[in-house]
Structure formats: C-alpha cells, structure tokens
Structure 1
Amino acid sequence: MAADKSGTQPTKAQQIADELKAAIERGDYGPGDRLPGEKALAEQHEVAGLTARAALKILRTEGLIEMRKGASPRVMSFELIRRHGIKRLARDQWGSGKTIWSADERLPDVDQIAVSENVTPPPHIRDVFELAPSETVCVRSRRYLVDGRPVMVAESYLPQSLVAGSLITQADTGPGGIYARLTDLGHAPARYREEVRVRMPTVSEAARLAIPSERSVIKLARTAFDSEGRVVEINEMTMDSAAYVLDYEFDA
C-alpha cells in the first residue's frame, strides 16, 4: 500500500477499511448487506482482532456501516439527503405555504421542538443582530429525523421585539413557516447568507444526533436579511455529515 500525500504509511486498519469502502462503492455490497465480521476480517487479512475492529470502526465513523452488538456489520441503507441550498430558500417555496424541506424531496419529522422567549443571546448572535445589551431574542430549537434517524438539530434566533405576539413564538408557525410569518410582519427575507464549516461534535451534539463522537458534523449558519438589510433571523444548524450532500446550483 502506497503512502498518502503526506508521506504517511496507512495503518493496516485503514488499508482494510479502504478495501471495504471500495467494495461498497463498486456495489459488491449493497444497502443492508452484511459485511465480514471482526473475526472473519482478522482471518482474511491475517491481523489481530483489534485491528479488524478498528477497520470497522473507521467505516462506522464515516457513516458507511451500522454495527449492533451481537450482529454482523451491515452497509448503511440510509439514502443521503440532497440539500438544495438555493432552491429551498426561494420565495416561491415558503411564499406558497410550502416547507423549505419540500425542495429536498424528503420531508423530515420534528421530534423535539422548544420555543423560548426573551432569551439573552450569545455575544456573536447579538453582534450580528446589532442588538443593545438589554435586548433579547426568541429562540426556536428543533431536532429533525428522516426515516427515524436524527439528521440535524437547529436553533433559530429572531429579535424578540420583532416577533413578540406572532405565531413565530408558537411551536406551529403555520403554512410557510418562519419566513412566511416574517412576511406577515412586513419583514420578508430578501437575501440570505450561508456559512458552512466542518468540525467535531460536542458531547451534547453527538448525543442529540445519535452519532459516534469521532464523526464530524456540518455547521451551517444561515442569516436572513429583509429588503432594508435588517437581519431578521439567524439559524445555526448542526448536521450529521454522513447524512447530507450540500447541493448548490446557480447560473453563471
């Protein structure tokens, strides 16, 4: 096995994981198919059981397989969510009463939702909103499931003075969601900015997403501006990196 670009020789566990990954990508193993177990891999590659276990752990961390106690590892059968980053935010989505998730063609279930009013915002949120120290925000926290699997947790921050008394402060915001209600308030989103980065999850994030602590998460922060340039919402999303493809298509 050749060294990688850094000149580092891959470990035996990584070599085995790469071979299994290539077999999955070729279609030798399809969704739901069983892979060789720890003992079979150890015998096949003439390595210790710990090495075979480490190889399988690499695949699990990357979200390619699922492992259950007492059962053979299986290829993950979950279909990746293709998140259409531009189409989902178009006015004809939420403006017609659709959820922005309908652009992704896979509607999620929300199994956890909490709405808190008059919250003192974190400093970075206050700065983006340009709020005075005494001003507060409304926070909407949700966890999203697709096919019964947690895929994302999100916290939306909105100026309390803007949304007080509106449906935005209720669990059910009605057709079109937050953006349709902002339109009702005279502050329809006219422009968005999304910032994407990848990092390791916190203990709390890994627990809420039910993912291994070694798997990275996608941190996507979306800021919505009205036609006057006022920031009307900041949505901070934490996404299972093994569940998503971020798809952006736009004209040249």
Structure 2
Amino acid sequence: MLDLGSIDRSDDRPPYRQIADILREHIRQGQLPPGEQLPSEAELIEYYGVARMTVREAIRELRGEGLVVAMHGKGVFVRSAPPVRRLASDRFARRHRKEGKAAFLAEAETAGHTPSVDQIRVTNEMVSPEVAERLKITRRDRVIVRSRRYLADGQPVEVATSYIPEKIAKGTPIAEVDTGPGGIYARIEDAGHQLAHFTEEVSARMPTPEERKVLDIGAGIPVMTLVRTAYDTDDVPVEVCDTVKVARAYVLEYDVPAM
C-alpha cells in the first residue's frame, strides 16, 4: 500500500481530519491519480490504528469536497477531474463565427478537447422581469429560450440558457434545435444585428440538486454562474445567456485595457 504517513496524536486536528489531509495531499500531488482506488476502509483502519468511524469521517470529508467518489460494492476512487478550459476574452470574436464555430466549439478545440452539446430544448415563452430588464423589453414581450448542456471529452462542464427577443429570433434557425454554423450569434448577425460588445457578471455558489444531476457533480463541488448580455452596434441588447459552469473545469481570463 502507498506510504500514507502517520497521524500525530498531539496534533490539535482530530485524527479523521489528519487522515483526510494526508489523502487530499496525495491526490493533489498525483500520487493518487484520477481513477485510482483508495485503500479500503479496513486497510486504513489497520494502517492508522483508528476506529471505523474515524476513517468514514475522513472519506466523507473528501467526498464532500468532490475529490473522491464511492462506487457501491467496489470502493472509493479518486474522481476524474473535468477538462480545464481557459475562457479568453476573444472567445466571441467574429472570426470564429466566420469559420462556422460557435463560442463553445472554438474554446474547446483551442484547449485540445472534443466538444459536444446535448439536452437541447427550444421554447417560446413570456419574458421574466429580470430578463426583460436586461433585454430592455416589456413584460408583455416574448422570447425564444434555448437551453442546452455542453460537454468536453464527453464530460458535462456547463449548462446554458439563452433568451433572445422573439422579434429577432422568430422565423430564424434560432428558433430551431439546430441553429447552423456559427451558432446563435451568427444567426443574430444574419438577422441584421451586428454584435458590438458583451457584458458578463460572474459569481460562485453551490449547485442545486438538479444542477448536480445534470452536471454529474458531487454535493461539495461549487459552480460558477456567468450571466452575459450581448449588444449590437446600436447598443441594443440582443441576447441574455445564463450559464452554470463546473467551477473546477474553467479558468476565466480577461484582457482589460488600462484606460
């Protein structure tokens, strides 16, 4: 068995926390790589000379952090980390749309991952107060709502919901499941709204039970929320996109000029 050090009875930290700290450090250093099975409960009990509950508390702490996953009847394994994708400021550059690539496709390919999208749902709905305010439309206006899940190398990394004013999207591929090459933004520009700039609001929180299920993540794994508003050259909001991202799957990178 891997050398897992020892616990210090004089340490202020309880034994279960010391064990969790040791295992966590081995995971972070790659000595327990993704997919690797942790020593069994019985092995850890014998190795550290502690009670069964102490070992279970240590494993529970690691599971809560999303570092390990228990497979019934098989044991506890180091969770495979999702692919990390760096989101650069130019991910919405027009050149990507001219190449027929939506933002996610361009981002994932740049990072060396294979992108895919599923669970696509398109509806025509009444606008919510928050979205109406962002789009500068009235509560009586309707929007085309596009929700979908994005995957990198087959692993869920985000879910996104876009709201596009009906007057822009109705009768266009935006209202269809397949928007065509270049995605939503290419179709918005086809409709005569050349994109000029975007605003983004980023925050972090713990996921809802439904988000955990859709993104296939543990209870202890946080998510980032990114709400983006797209504007055309007349400074008219043309889309609001509400995205929930697996926090450890992304690095957000912004190039901010010093004015």
TM-score class, shorter-chain normalisation, is 0.7 to 0.9
Is 1:104 aligned to residue 111 of structure 2?
no
1:187 & 1:12 partners in 2: Cα distance? Answer: 62
Matched letter for residue 61 of structure 1:
G
Of 136-145 and 23-32, deviating more is 23-32
Cα shift at 1:208: 1.7
Cα shift at 1:10: 5.1
1:68-122: CA deviations, max 9, x gaps? 11123222334422132313222211232112122233233222110001x1122
Partner of 1:50: 53
Compared CA separation, residues 236 and 50, structure 1 to 2 (3 A): farther
Compared CA separation, residues 148 and 67, structure 1 to 2 (3 A): farther
Corresponding residue SS for 1:228:
coil
CA RMSD of aligned residues (A): 2.3
* Aligned residues of 2:144 and 2:163 also touching (Cα < 8 A): yes
Decide which structure has the larger Cα Rg and report it.
2
1:241 & 1:30 partners in 2: Cα distance? Answer: 20
Cα shift at 1:213: 3.0
Cα shift at 1:223: 1.2
Corresponding residue SS for 1:236:
strand
- Give the count of matched residue pairs: 244
1:202 & 1:237 partners in 2: Cα distance? Answer: 14
Matched letter for residue 91 of structure 1:
R
Matched letter for residue 142 of structure 1:
R
**Equivalences for 1:11-50 in 2 at 5 Å?**
11-50=14-53
- Which one of the candidate residues 93, 97, 119 is aligned to 2:96? 93
1:17 & 1:129 partners in 2: Cα distance? Answer: 48
Partner of 1:245: 250
Cα shift at 1:172: 0.5
Matched letter for residue 52 of structure 2:
G
Corresponding residue SS for 1:88:
coil
1:144-166: CA deviations, max 9, x gaps? 23333322211111111111101
1:190-227: CA deviations, max 9, x gaps? 11111111112222212222222343221111111111
Aligned-residue sequence identity (percent) comes to 38
Is 1:63 aligned to residue 66 of structure 2?
yes
Cα shift at 1:18: 2.0
Q: What is the TM-score with the length of structure 1 in the denominator?
A: 0.86
Compared CA separation, residues 189 and 59, structure 1 to 2 (3 A): farther
- What residue ranges of structure 2 are gaps of 5+ in the alignment? 1-6
Corresponding residue SS for 1:127:
helix
Compared CA separation, residues 185 and 21, structure 1 to 2 (3 A): same
Cα shift at 1:11: 4.9
* Aligned residues of 2:66 and 2:220 also touching (Cα < 8 A): no
1:54 & 1:188 partners in 2: Cα distance? Answer: 56
* Aligned residues of 2:85 and 2:107 also touching (Cα < 8 A): no
Corresponding residue SS for 2:186:
helix
